[in-house]
Amino acid sequence: MAQYLILIYEDEAAWATAGPEGYEQAMKEHTAFGHANGAALRGGNALQPTGTATTVRREPTGSFSVTDGPFVETKEALGGYYLVEAADLDEALAVAKQVPAPFGGVEVRPVQVFD
């Protein structure tokens, strides 16, 4: 078995206009997803919008620059993730296809194993 991180990228502006009904619907869908895939799920979280993000980089001088905002500004931003266990990529993709992401999509990344 292997672990995969499913990163959820969505348009934050679309979420902002979706309203309370939109959030409620999404919560329902994620709950249903969690029930359907409980055996594979190893973790997951929703993230607050990129407006709350802070980026930290070490400068060549050794000091740190701390800036407001996400690491990269994109229309569709990382908004949440699931960690899943799967035998292979096909199994991970089958789970990924069920992740609710009405305003974007998901990226599937295998977790690096060190031995």
Partner 1 sequence: MLADPSVSAAVADAHRREWAFVLAATVRVTGDLGMAEECVQDAYAQALSTWGDRGVPARPGAWLTTVARRRAVDAGRRDATLRRSLPLLLDDRVDPGPQIADPEEIADDRLRLVFTCCHPALRLEAQVALTLRLLCGLTTAEVAAAFLVSEPTMAARLTRAKKKISGARIPYRVPAAGELPARVDAVLTVVHLLFTTGHTAPVGADLIRRDLVERALDLARMLRALLPRDADVAGLLALILLTDARSATRVGDDGRLVLLAEQDRTRWDRNAIGEGVALVREALRRRPPGRFALMAAIAAVHAEAPSWTDTDWRELVALYDLLVQLWPSPVVALNRAVAVGFAAGIDAGLHALDALAAEPQLAGYAYLPAARADLLRRLGRLSEARTAYEEALLLTQNTVERDFLTARLDKLGQAQAKPGSTHPGPAPSAPR
- Could you say whether residue 13 binds partner 1 (CB under 8 A)? no
The rounded distance, in Å, linking the Cα atoms of 43 and 68 is 27
- Could you say whether residue 68 binds partner 1 (CB under 8 A)? no
Are 101 and 5 within 8 A, CB to CB?
no
User: Any idea what the Cα angle at residue 43 is, between residues 42 and 48, rounded to 5°?
Assistant: 165
The rounded distance, in Å, linking the Cα atoms of 102 and 15 is 9
- Could you say whether residue 89 binds partner 1 (CB under 8 A)? yes
Stretch that binds partner 1, among 7-15, 22-30, 71-79, 107-115 (CB under 8 A): 107-115
- Could you say whether residue 73 binds partner 1 (CB under 8 A)? no
- Could you say whether residue 83 binds partner 1 (CB under 8 A)? no
Nearer to partner 1, 21 or 90 (CB): 90
DSSP letter string, 57-82: EE-TTS-EEEEES-SS--SEEEEEEE
Positive/negative CA dihedral, 90, 95, 98, 99: negative
- Of these, 7, 14, 41, 93, which contacts partner 1 (CB under 8 A)? 93
- Could you say whether residue 90 binds partner 1 (CB under 8 A)? yes
- Could you say whether residue 114 binds partner 1 (CB under 8 A)? no
Q: Which residues bind partner 1 (CB under 8 A)?
A: 2, 87-90, 93, 108, 110, 115
